[in-house]
Amino acid sequence: MQMFLVTEQKFREHNLCLKTMFLSTGVMLSNGERWKQLRRFSLATMRNFGMGKRSVEERIQEESRCLIEEFRRKAGSPFDPTYLVTLAVSNVICSIVFGQRFDYEDKKFLGLLAMLKDAFRIRNSIAGQLLNSFPKIMLRVPGPHHQVIRNFFTLNEFVMEKVKEHLNTLDQNCPRDFIDCFLIKMEEEKDNPNTEFHFQNLFVTVINLFLAGTETTSTTIRMSLRILLKYPDVLAKVQEEIDHVIGQNRCPYVEDRSKMPYTDAVIHETQRITDVLPMSVPHATAETIVFRGYTIPKGTTIFPLLTSVLKDPKHFQNPHKFNPNNFLDEKGGFRKNEAFIPFSTGKRICLGEGMARMELFLFITAVLQNFNLKSDEDPSAIDISPLPKSNSTIHRPFDICLVPR
């Protein structure tokens, strides 16, 4: 515990702004040997706790049943599905990282998710975009962007609290979750002065996994409901396929996906058109390169524009219009498209891709298996575009009415 307190103090002293906190440590935005070690460890540990295996499928199925029950309580009346969907998705990654899920009435956790939503909203506003581009200047200028930093430090406090709880109850012979495994790895490498397994990397890696496993997937699921409200003919075909393959007497399984090409195509097209991370995450050039006549020095921060590929007219017909046929062949079978890269590509592809794909299929099919979707809006008037001046990442709020089938 003494080592934890010392490290916690250093953590506070050396992380005076969000830039330092996220760009130098953790698995998402670090580079070199640190990134290699943390990514290798994170992938192995998450696989051990079920990512890509049957056990994580069961976690998602359990959470989808909880979500359906919450939806049933609201059936028949319009409501905003944002927080219930976010809670359900977040609980899957929380069960792996923290070893627990949170009740849908947990006020502390609800407050945390509300704070994160607010942080993402501000971060993608004009002030937030200026903070990304000119951090040294903007940290000295008053404005709403400072709330983003305060919110992420609150999240860091939450993670610290969970790590302290794990330290007090740790059994090195029986790790319960990702945090336990990281703490055990820290103990194994305590005599290595160059180890990457220390509290600062633990805190930021946990935050990376928590954010990545919550926001993008929940936004895609929520937007799938909005899109299906706008295209009732697509909704009818998806539900017809669900009824034919799954029926009403059992929950969906991942293995059903291969027998449901239209549903799979709709989910892929939803990811493409929703485009929740259009600028991906920051990368850095590994060597000096010349691109379209411009010399980009080694180590330059670059943003790969995933949106330029996901909306490329060479690969997608009418790329700004929702069309599941982008992923269907002439016989109605599912067709892969090399330009479909919502999880990025290469060595730094999203390490949670497998789990996210599983969540999207299981949550969406479970909801459509149990409910018809209704709205007071005319389908032709439903706007599925992002909010203006939001860096194309903040989507419009909406209410939905669920009618049990």
- Summarised one tens digit per residue, pLDDT across range 333-353 is 999 999 999 998 888 888 889
Amino acid identity, position 266: V
The CATH fold of domain 1-213: Cytochrome p450 (1.10.630)
- Residue among 114, 33, 56 at smallest CA distance from 352: 56
pLDDT at position 391, please? Answer: 64
Report the amino acid identity of residue 251.
C
Residue range 41-70: average pLDDT? 86
With beta carbons less than 8 A apart as the criterion, state whether 116 and 214 touch.
yes
pLDDT 10s digits, 273-283: 999 888 887 77
The length of the chain in residues reads 405
The residues that bridge with 284 in the sheet, in sequence order, are 301
SS (H, E, C) 244-269: HHCCCCCCCCHHHHHHCHHHHHHHHH
Phi, psi of 125 (to 5 degrees): -80, 180
**Confidence band, pLDDT 50/70/90 cuts, at residue 6:** very low
Residue 204 reports pLDDT greater than 80 = yes
Tell me the three state secondary structure of residue 379.
Answer: helix
Whether 20 shows a pLDDT value over 50: the answer reads no
Per-residue pLDDT, 22? 58
Q: Is the pLDDT of residue 223 over 60?
A: yes
What integer is the mean pLDDT of 159-179? 92
pLDDT at 139: 77
Q: Determine the pLDDT at residue 23.
A: 57
Contact call for residues 238 and 262 (beta carbons, < 8 A): yes
Where is average pLDDT lowest: 2-16, 228-242, 275-289?
2-16
